[in-house]
Chain A
Amino acid sequence: MNIDMDVVQLSRLQFGLTALYHFLFVPLTLGLAVLLGIMESVYVMTGREIWKQMTRFWGLLFGINFAMGVATGITMEFQFGMNWAYYSHYVGDIFGAPLAIEGLMAFFLEATFIGLFFFGWDRLSKQAHLAVTWLVALGSNLSALWILIANGWMQNPVGARFNPDTMRMEVTDFMAVLFNPVAQAKFVHTVSAGYVTGAVFVLSISAFYLLRGRHVELAIRSMTVAASFGLASALSVVVLGDESGYTAGENQKMKIAAIESMWETEPAPASFTIFGLPNQALHRTDYELRVPWMLGLIATRSIDKKVPGINELVAEAGQRVRSGLVAHAALETLRTDRANTAARTRLSEHGADLGYALLLRKIRPDIANAAEADVQAAAWSTVPAVSPLFWSFRIMVGLGFFFIALFTLAFYLASARKLRAYPLFLKIAMCSLPLPWIAAELGWIVAEVGRQPWVIDGVLPTFLAVSSLSAGNVLTTLIGFIGFYSALLVVDIYLMIKTVRLGPDVFAPE
């Protein structure tokens, strides 16, 4: 078996780009769906036509975005099989289930009812249409739940065991996969981030209208809804992001250490590095600026538990590589002698570390003969790229606090009915439009780059997960996706801007 590392790099690039691209549309769908539900609820309760006009206008932008989300989501559903065939074989028994359940429980719901949202205004009673809108919102949120259960399992693979007869991981405890604490924490954090995105979107476009003095009634009401919903969401995204950090501290210690660029284990409680220049080659962080205690409190919620540093975790990884080699040797025996019970016992004892032995495949093809230097190299390969994590995380968190400030101000001005009194605030709000996307994409980078070198944490290294494709084929589709997606993005943004410029007057009550 020879793995072509070009194919690995190209496949990773393609998956990363298509996932980041898909993730441009998902957060807005999540947030805007709920905002539409809120606006239409007000319409049904008060009977005032302007709220219907708001729902239809924001719905139009929602629709353009939703179509792009559906379209680019198709790629995600099939790319595991196309580019990550060994992954699909190795963990499909567990990973496929949440994806299929997502389709059955969530995606069908939102996609079936979204047609009625647009085409049902004259065919349904007010209450029935409102129910349809909320079903779309429910579907999109459930969809996120199942996708994050799948993703959470990649981060923290619970409830599964390696089966030597089928040469793959198989589920042992489905409830553990479902109630994976990492998945739960990621779900609430991601969904809140989506709500923030929806709220910033409505806030900044409304601010644009107010600055121009257009559609004032609609803009003020939209801003008020966005401000209150956004404030609650921004607070929860930070609080629940902290929950995410805590579960990662429990389950993905290397990710936390890399985000912190923390090489040595400090005495508890560990300090948090606000600024520094991670130096991966020399295993240290230059020009550090630290806040005492903070990391210890976030990651362990205690003042006496240690947060292990990278060096300590690498030493642990070395132990697991050695243990994994025992499992690997047992597996080799089983391949020629399936009935060998001694080998089966050895494999089940050391099976949890099998993935660590597979790291050696990148270093030498005959991993049974690995020397101590190879084991060390494999152990060090468990450290992800520190700098991108360190910086992505800090920018994301900074943006999170900025959103809290922005929405607090917006909420105050909306309650005091002074939204139009401060053009500077409106300008800031308008210019904030791209920020939630930046934060969301950086959050994705922290989660997924932080998982490297694993595709399934501790179980399967990313480089082993690829399909046996030629680099030329992957390059062809990579260029194809980049060209096709870029063209679509240009058209999408053009239509969004056109729709915003046109404004909500097409839906004005007669």
Chain B
Amino acid sequence: MFDYESMRLVWWALLGILLIGFAVMDGFDLGAAMLLPFVGKTDDERRVVINTVGPVWEGNQVWFILGGGAIFAAWPTLYAVAFSGFYLAMFLILCALILRPVAFKFRSKVPNPTWRSIWDWALFVAGTVPSLVFGVAFGNVILGVPFRFDDTMRMTYEGTLFGLLNPFALLCGLVSVAMLAMHGGAWLAMKAADPVAARAATIARGAGILMILLFAAAGLWTAFGIDGYRIMGAMAHDGPSNPLFKQVTRVAGGWMANYRAFPATIAAPLLAILGTAATVALLGGRHSIPALLTSGLGVAGVIATAGLAVFPFLLPSSLDPKASLTVWDSSSSHHTLVIMLGVTVVFLPIILLYTAWVYRILRGRVTIAYVIGNKSSTY
């Protein structure tokens, strides 16, 4: 069971789990930052929003960093191609994700209203830009990305930042923005006190309905308007990680092949839609704790839908399809995958345990009275 093929499959699943961990945990911070100017009308209300994520954003941000580290360790070719290819887009994400923690920390240190207003909008931008760009990046993965390798495995990317901003990818970006706005809204509905919570619930319901519509539109577009990719002939699943050893062709509607071949995988898009619909319904009745859970499931469903559609591809190349990165030819060596699995199996449960403990200690709603009474120890 520790053979190379299985290890690659396990690390494909772990990649998905880490991305979902990031989208669920850091996603509600991003969403809350996105909603900040709209759900908080006064300074105290905005401090309520910020202090719901105040004690946990650092830990949540680590999901992003761990995602980067794990891709580097387990899928080094993907790490190299994706981040150098999406160079300027990555720069935008980095700037936003640097601005965000700093804005949390700095905003309430100075009472001046202009100062605070600037940081509030900085938080809005820092929440919205990554949400949009991540979605755009996913959209481009589905479309294929223009890169190729020379025979020393040096990658050349022939796209531009504006090439990434095509209609389909922008649609995916909007799916992501709507999804995280819903998720952030659900978080605030659970964690903040009224009136912030009530406003957040309303926005989250609207965002959820929008997300279902946009998600369905992106799905139809993928099925009928986009060529998928398929590996031609047999390919060893335990061969050396060299993407140039295979042949790949483009197939109309090819991204639906997995769903046709394995109907059980349709559970993923169903989870995305039903999880979101349940969130909308539960928030209508202000059942905020189950709503946050179903919202998280919806987020997981969206990511799983994309991952299953393109499997075994990780990053298809539109320029030279045979250079596409797949699960079978862009991983680390067998040895590294086994070691990293061992480390992950030990530490991921420990992380989940202490994270749960921290959230338990911090349970309860953040109220206006609390942020007024604890000016020196809150944001």
Contacts and interface: CB of A to CB of B under 8 A. Distances in A.
A212 interface: no
Contact of A73 (B59, B65, B241): B65
A78 interface: yes
A377 to B, nearest CB: 22
Interface string B48-62: 000000111111011
B68 A170 contact: no
B165 interface: no
B70 interface: yes
Given A111-B58, A114-B58, A473-B87, A104 B66 contact: yes
Interface string A79-101: 01111011011001111110111
B79 interface: yes
Interface residues of A, number: 77
Contacts of A66: 58
B354 to A, nearest CB: 6
Contacts of B270: none
Contacts of A217: none
A507 interface: yes
A195 to B, nearest CB: 22
A468 B94 CA distance: 20
A499 B110 CA distance: 10
Contacts of A99: 68-69, 72-73
A120 B58 CA distance: 15
A171 B71 CA distance: 17
Contact of B73 (A73, A97, A114): A97
A93 B102 contact: no
B343 A74 contact: no
B106 A119 contact: no
Chain B interface, >50% SS class: helix
B336 interface: yes
B59 A108 contact: yes
B347 to A, nearest CB: 4
Contacts of B71: 96
Interface stretch (B147-155, B190-198, B254-262): B147-155
Contacts of A112: 56, 58-59, 62, 351, 354-355, 358
Interface in A47-63: 56, 63
B155 A89 contact: yes
A88 B88 CA distance: 18
Nearest to A110: B58
A507 B240 CA distance: 60
A120 B361 contact: yes
Contacts of A85: 80-81, 83-84, 155
A99 B154 CA distance: 23
B4 interface: no
B73 A491 contact: no
B109 interface: yes
Given A78-B68, A495-B106, A468 B156 contact: yes
A67 interface: yes
Contacts of A105: 343, 347
B157 interface: yes
Contacts of A70: 58, 61, 101
A87 B15 CA distance: 22
Contacts of A402: none
Interface string B349-379: 0010011001001100000000000001110
Interface string B327-354: 0000011011001100110011001001
B101 A167 contact: no
B351 to A, nearest CB: 5
B89 to A, nearest CB: 10
Contact of B80 (A92, A115, A488, A492): A92
A92 B83 contact: no
A141 B376 CA distance: 28
A100 B72 contact: yes
Contact of A171 (B83, B94, B102, B333): B333
B336 A93 contact: yes
Contacts of B152: 1, 167
A506 B109 CA distance: 13
A467 to B, nearest CB: 4
Interface in A106-153: 107-109, 111-116, 118-121, 123-124
Interface stretch (A232-240, A387-395, A476-484): A476-484
A104 B74 CA distance: 14
A245 B168 CA distance: 56
A88 B365 CA distance: 44
Nearest to B86: A82
14 contacts: A75-B98, A78-B83, A81-B80, A83-B84, A92-B72, A92-B73, A96-B336, A101-B340, A111-B58, A111-B62, A171-B333, A484-B95, A495-B106, A498-B109
Given A1-B152, A71-B101, A491-B106, 19 more contacts: A74-B94, A78-B94, A81-B79, A86-B155, A89-B76, A89-B80, A92-B73, A93-B333, A93-B336, A96-B71, A96-B79, A99-B72, A100-B72, A104-B348, A116-B362, A165-B242, A171-B336, A171-B339, A473-B88
Interface of A: 1, 56, 63-64, 66-68, 70-75, 77-78, 80-83, 85-86, 88-89, 92-97, 99-105, 107-109, 111-116, 118-121, 123-124, 163, 165-168, 170-172, 174, 335, 467-469, 473, 476-477, 480, 484, 488, 491-492, 495, 498-499, 506-507
